[in-house]
Amino acid sequence: MNCMRSTRVLGCRSMRMILVGPPGAGKGTQAARLIESFGIPHISSGDMLRAAVKEGTALGVEADRFMKAGKLVPDEVVIGMILERIARPDCAAGFMLDGFPRTRPQAEALDAAMRGAGVELDAVVLIEVPDALLEERAVGRRSDPETGAIYHLKYNPPPAEIVGRLVHRKDDTIEAVSTRIQKYHSETAPIIPFYLSKGILRRVDGVGDPDVITERIKAALNS
């Protein structure tokens, strides 16, 4: 069922969507806000890979060297991980993918798997932020390992009592972020025409107050 075409999103029975955007665009922050409204699982390929690295699984050991350098983990590793995840029962009524697909082969593999399962994507939300803002956003980013909340030292400062436990991602350095931005333009941007041609791409301005951006995304999904 493709309820984007028939029903308002918040009353939707299923929602299969993707958040796309450069590193530091706010995909994780927005996903955490949106899933509260939609009641679907938030599936972040980056979070899954970081968990695998932490657990020291074979997948994690392989992924770690690419991630540290800000490079993309090979398609075959990420595709298997995500297709297995979205086949689980909690995704039957939908999911919000964040950080996947990031290459054209990943987008095509997702498309084929969904076609095989007889379901469709409802929307692809592209959060647009100029490159000039991305480095500063990522380098100042900190996350709370206990709650998963994401802060920015300047733009969204954390409460003083939790500062000591916050984590700075090892790929949020200037060097790794600039590689990640380049990879976004060379590897990920080519998925945009793929979704544009399907008529499900929604562009959202990702500059401004996070609350305002959440409202922009909801409005784009309802348009």
The residues carrying an active-site annotation are 27, 102, 141, 169, 180
Interface positions, 144-203, toward ligand AMP (CB under 6 A)? 171, 180
Number of helices (H) and strands (E), helices first, in the chain?
9, 7
- Residue 203 exposure: Cα atoms within 13 Å on the Cβ side: 7
Interacting residues with ligand AMP between 54 and 73 (CB under 6 A): 66-67, 70-73
Enumerate residues 70-129 that contact ligand AMP by CB under 6 A: 70-73, 78, 99-100, 102, 106
Site for ligand AMP (CB under 6 A): how many residues? Answer: 17
**Cβ nearer to ligand AMP, comparing 4 with 201:** 201
Residue closer to ligand AMP (CB basis): 95 or 100: 100
Tokens 């008529």 belong to residue = 199
Q: CB-wise, 4 or 102, nearer to ligand AMP?
A: 102
How many of the other CB atoms lie within 10 Å of CB of 71?
15
| Distance, first Cα to last Cα, the chain | 17
Nearer to ligand AMP, 14 or 45 (CB): 45
- Can you read off the two tokens belonging to residue 62? 């392989």
CA–CA gap between residue 124 and residue 52 (Å, rounded): 26
To ligand AMP, the closest distance from the beta carbon of 11 in angstroms equals 30
Instruction: Give CA–CA dist 49/60, Å, rounded.
Output: 6
CB 173 within 8 A of CB 65: no
Q: To the nearest whole angstrom, how small is the minimum distance from the Cβ of residue 162 to ligand AMP? A: 21
Q: Of 187, 176, 186, 30, whose CA–CA distance to 106 is shortest?
A: 187
Is residue 49 within the footprint of ligand AMP (CB under 6 A)? yes
- Minimum CB–partner distance for residue 207 and ligand AMP (Å): 19
Place of tokens 């490079």: 71
Indicate the residue whose CB is closest to ligand AMP: 46
Interface contacts to ligand AMP, rule CB under 6 A: 23, 45-46, 49, 66-67, 70-73, 78, 99-100, 102, 106, 171, 180
